[in-house]
Amino acid sequence: MSLSTITVLLTLLYLSNVSDAQTEGNSIPEPYDLLFDNAVEAYYKGDWMTVILNMERALKNRSLLRKIKAQCRLACASNTTFGQNIPGVGLAIPGAGSIEDLGFFQSIMKRADCITSCETEKLGPHTLHKISDEVQLEFRKRTPYNYLQVAYFKIKKLDRAVSAANTFFLANPDHMEMKQNLDYYKMMAGVQESDFKDLEAQPHMAAFLEGKKLYSSDDFAGAVSFLETAVEEYFPVYEECRALCEGSYDYDGYNYMEYKADLFQAMTDHFLQSLNCKQNCVLELATTAGRDKPFEDFLPSLFNYLQFSYFNSENYEKAVECAKTYLLFHPEDEVMKQNLAYYTVVVGEENAVTISEREVIKQYIKKSLLEKELLYFGYEIFGVTFVDPDPWTPADVMPVKLREKQKADRETAARITEEIGNLMKEIETLVEEKNKDSSDLSKLVSDAPQPDSRSTAPQAGSVLFDNIKVTMTSKMLNGTQRVLLDGVTTEDECRELHRLSNAAAKTGDGYRGKPSPHSPSEMFQGVTVLKALKLGQEGMVPLKSARLFFDVSEKVRKVVESYFQLTTPLYFSYSHLVCRSAIEEKQEDRKDLSHPVHADNCVLISEMNECIKEPPAYTHRDYSAILYLNEDFEGGDFIFTELDGKTITATVRPSCGRVVGFGAGKENPHGVKAVTKSQRCAIALWFTLDPRHEEKERIQAQELLNMLSSPLDAEFQSTTADSSTATQATEDDSKPVTATQADVDDSKPVTATQATTDDSKPVTATQATTDDSKPVTATQADVDDSKTVTATQATTDDSKPVEQPGASEAAQPPKEQEEATAQAEQRAEKQTDTVSVQNDVAPEVKSTSDTAKDNTESKTDEKAQPKKTVKNKPKQTEEVKATQGDKTKPKQADKSKPKQADKTKAKEVDKTKSKEVDKTKSKQVDKQKSTSTKKAVKKAPDSKKAEVKTTDSKAQKVEL
């Protein structure tokens, strides 16, 4: 068992012991608002154990506070009843006389003393637990569970993290980040279905929901058990709720000092307020998390479910009891009357008469009706408003005048509602016209040519690049911190990036593999910069395209940083090349968005017109930008809205090279309209001003690019400082050579792309390997005395298949090869050819025919590069291709050297032939070349035939 697990268990054990001790009255609980503040402070410090300890204690102490207050008030009500005989007075009945009145108030004072003593003993001074409205709101919103799910996740207690997350989400069903967290938890190993609990669920409500579920599945016997439990658990919670209504008087907005009521008026006001609260307990107990409204007629509905469940369980006596109990609430219900008549026939009238309604419901209804009469009296006489929460209340309980008044009020309300409806229709019409105008303006801007848009549109700052145009500013987009740019990329770049997205993007990338994370009518796919570069390194996608992804996103970062005139640098927070594809069969009657309206660094609560900047939102994000790659699709417009998430303030139509940039805060709620046809692709970028939150994958991508850069390029650029070394011939075969160098045999002609190297040095994709420890690519050749090969042919063992290149050349006959070699040696001795200059390598002397062939091959290389890796390797399976870390490619792990050698190719080389070439030919050629080179360098004649070819396939002419 790990140390962290032991610590968690000890913490939970401590919390349990503290809670038990406080319940028994052994200690005074700490104020839960103070514990909550300590937990929040620890959260931002990353002290997860302190978060758990304080937040769990805060939740327990809040529950304990309610429980102790209710217990004290209920106990004191039982001990100080008003029906007791008072010595010298007898039964104190208020209104019977002054002495009796004093006896009544004596009972009240005793009860007050009892409650005060009980609460002080168990809770301490009443000011100790005076909680602010703000903290109480946080607990009603279940915010503590949001912090707890993060803390438990950090210490890898997944079961508790899931329970906390589910508890918070049930009360906040619109919280998208928590929804994503729960989806993530469902896919994690070790998470059980039973972990998704509601830790705040009342026992009666949990039993009711489970019984209702079994009832719907026709498991009536199982439903009876849970529904009876719900009835049993309902009344203790109901009495506790009513007891808590006997608190201090709420002055409801007007100043305490202005309240001038006399003794009996003040008593009446406080009593009616308490009574009103008690009546509304039925609504509180009928409410469950995630439901907008309470269950209507909750308690009567329990007996409705029970009577039918008992009937289907063939327990007709209980069915009679529950039917009669239900009729106490709704005596005129015809359906229930028919049911009762049927049950009576089955049971027998004599037996049915002996079965009575449940006594607890009789007392409940009697007390509730008396309270309603008092409340209606206060409504009629004192004007204290009362809204009856029960639909079963008989009409005659309400006074006639009040019924007539309420009827008139309902008619007035209906008329006002109709007028408001007409007004809202007019407002909607105006909003639609405004949106249409905004959309038309965006369309005109996107369709019209923009040669002078930069001069006509006011700029917040420079965009650094001349070809980029500011199409719309914040003012034109009806907001702040917004900009629309065009010309950021060319059409060719857009097409290349679009192809990259389809080749490299993975379904559900960034959303834990969910193919449709935002809309079930669309398919989502994406790829990050690092993943694209790794695929390019492995040859799965063009490395040039992956590099373009990196460079273009960097370009956008610079433009956003410059335009918004930021004094501190922007860092990448996340980079994502994404595509949304419409699913054709799911577009009918579609009304959702491709991406719901949201803000990038805060949790948008559209119902309250608020955006709360708190975890789990990405609060570190400061700016965002989207670069669009195509426009050949339907729908998919980008929209800015108000905080309500519905009122559209600006619409942007995507097109190639267009960028929309904006601040990531609550000033810019945004979304994407439904993509109804084809595919919409873009590069989504998020930026931060905090370097601590810089994208780690971005840093790794930069390092990978540095490693992928050829070291030979850097060596070539440094040759100017050491030209004497650069012109020396290589006499030892231990030096590396590039694809343009050749160790020439005096009897064998070689082309410009052939090279003989030693296995101790790295080689590039187009270098030829003549040693048996190195593989060869499609452009390499192993030459021996009896065989002639061209630049695109490879001589291999008879038992191995020969890899064919994309294009081939005709082989020269041996006689022509000897003549060409002899001519080359003569020209070298006469110093009429220019040498090829390269750092630390032997220069190459070519004949006229060879040079012509080189020029042709150089052009061919520039237009269509040969493949770096052989695709159809011998004995290679699809499994090998899929496994990039396979042991058949150990040398690719060294990323600092661009070795593309593959051991699966090594056996293609004939060991005998390669060794013969090395031993019998190489040294002679080296000596001849060395002599020729020294002479050629001294005279340096003019020649346009010799070329120096670098590994980037660009020919650079050098004249000495």
The DSSP-derived string for 453-495 is HHHHS--SS--S-TT-EEEE-TTTTTSSSEEEEE-SS-HHHHH
Nearest C-alpha neighbor of 565 from the set 623, 494, 489, 513: 623
Tokens of 382: 């004192």
- 680 among known catalytic residues: yes
Query: What is the C-alpha separation between 802 and 870, in angstroms, rounded?
Result: 11
Return the structure tokens found at 295.
């269950």
Integer Cα distance of 136 and 481 in angstroms:
35
> For residue 788, how many other CB atoms are within 10 A of its CB?
19
C-alpha radius of gyration, the chain, whole number: 42
The DSSP call for residue 946 is -
What count of other Cβ atoms lies within 10 Å of the Cβ of residue 393? Answer: 17
Q: For 670, phi and psi rounded to 5 degrees?
A: -155, 165
Q: Is the dihedral of CA 616, 622, 628, 629 positive or negative?
A: negative
Task: State how far the Cα of 313 lies from the Cα of 193, in Å rounded to an integer.
Answer: 30
Q: How far apart are CA 344 and CA 337, in angstroms?
A: 10
For residue 73, the surrounding DSSP H or E stretch is helix 48-79
- Both tokens assigned to 535: 């695929």
**Cα distance between residue 287 and residue 204, in whole Å:** 11
Give Cα separations from 370 to 338, 363, 374, 401 (angstroms). 30, 11, 6, 19
> Tokens standing for 45?
């410090």
Tokens describing residue 41: 């402070």
Residue whose entry in the numeric block shows the structure tokens 């408001």: 420
Give every CB contact of residue 531 below 8 A, 6+ residues apart in sequence. 504, 506, 509
Helix, strand, or coil here: 641? strand
| Nearest-10 crossing angle of helices 529-537, 696-708 | 30
The residue assigned the tokens 């002080």 is: 120
Please state the φ and ψ torsions of residue 499, each to the nearest 5 degrees: -65, -40
How many Å apart are CA 521 and CA 506, to the nearest integer? Answer: 18
Is residue 219 classed exposed, middle or buried when 0-12, 13-18 and 19+ CB atoms within 10 A define those classes? middle
In sequence order, the 6+-apart residues with CB closer than 8 A to the CB of 418 are none
Catalytic residue among 160, 590, 680, 827: 680
- Within 8 A by CB and 6+ apart from 675, the residues are 522, 580, 581, 582, 594, 633, 634, 635, 636
3-state SS string for 274-328: HHHHHHCHHHHHCCCCCCCCCCCCHHHHHHHHHHHHHHHCCCHHHHHHHHHHHHH
Q: Is 59 exposed, middle or buried (0-12, 13-18, 19+ CB in 10 A)?
A: buried
Q: In whole angstroms, what is the distance from residue 521 CA to residue 915 CA?
A: 64
Burial of 604 (0-12, 13-18, 19+ CB in 10 A): buried
CA 82 vs CA 70, 100, 481, 551: distances in Å = 19, 11, 69, 85
* Residue 522 buriedness (CB in 10 A; 0-12 / 13-18 / 19+): buried
Residues with catalytic function:
680
